[in-house]
Amino acid sequence: MTVVEADLEALDPDLERDDLPALVYRRVTGRHQVDEWGLDRDLVAAVVPLARLRWSVRAEGDQHIPEIGPALLVHTRRLGISEPAAVGMAVRRVTGRPLRVAGVPSRGPLAWSGRRLGGVPSNVDDLRSLLRAGELVALGLGRELLHPYHAPPVPVPPVEVALALGVPILPVAVVGMEPARRWVVRVGQPLVTRRRAATGDPTELAEATRARLQRLLTGARRG
């Protein structure tokens, strides 16, 4: 890495190189950065090739994922292990952006690694601060082990936060079996909220999100 490259990285993080020598250089010299929520972008970049060996993800409707600005991605789960990884891979492929995954424990052995890879606790305070900062946040719904093509209820508090901030809500149907390598991520048309006119009913918006997810799942089953 030259001095010029280092200066460019300081000016614009998007210009950082993600090849292995650059990742190792930043790690050894302490130039890698961890943001206020615990995300280590270099660690994510190092894990991506391993994730591609484990999961093969086909994305549909990925043009709905915003390249800039916040969004709340509400996705379905079966067992709940592979789904966040599949959604994160689809987001990174389309936008190059990290996905913040809600639901990581705040304490315990998985807390540190989860936060370094983009996970955050599923409380409304963290959700609100992430969306205000313009991040993409994934919210996994209840697990559907026996009925993978059924959309469960969408919790109202995260929807209420998105509505108050005027953040679009993206329904995302994730289809696959846990031992399998191939997964499909179907992104539906966003449910648009408007901050100045955020007087809608969050309960109705949560139900509208669930209904749109159900249509995505039904289409995936027929396909």
As beta bridge partners, residue 120 has 102
pLDDT of residue 174: 97
Query: Quick one: which of 103, 82, 100, 81 has its CA closest to 91?
Result: 100
DSSP states of 48-117: HHHHHHH-EEEEESGGGS-SSS-EEEEEEESSSSHHHHHHHHHHHHHH---EEEET--SSSHHHHHHHHT
For residue range 139-169, list pLDDT tens digits in order. Answer: 999 999 889 999 999 999 999 999 999 999 9
Rounded Cα distance between 29 and 179, Å, is: 39
- Who's near 196: CB < 8 A, 6+ residues apart? 166
For residue range 64-82, list pLDDT tens digits in order. Answer: 999 999 999 999 999 888 9
Q: How far is CA 222 from CA 11, 62, 64, in A?
A: 49, 20, 22
> Phi/psi zone of residue 190: left (φ > 0), alpha (ψ -120 to 50 degrees), beta?
beta
Rounded Cα distance between 184 and 139, Å, is: 17
pLDDT of residue 108: 79
CATH of domain 55-222: 3.40.1130.10
Q: What is the pLDDT along the chain (223 residues), one digit of tens a residue?
A: 444 444 444 444 545 676 667 666 676 676 678 888 889 988 888 899 999 999 999 999 999 999 999 999 999 999 888 999 999 999 999 999 999 999 888 787 788 889 989 999 888 999 999 999 999 999 999 999 889 999 999 999 999 999 999 999 999 999 999 989 999 999 999 998 875 554 589 999 999 999 999 999 999 887 6
Residue pair 183/82 in contact (Cβ under 8 Å)? The answer is yes
Which tokens is 35 given?
């943001």
Please state the domain extents for the chain.
3-47, 55-222
pLDDT of residue 18: 66
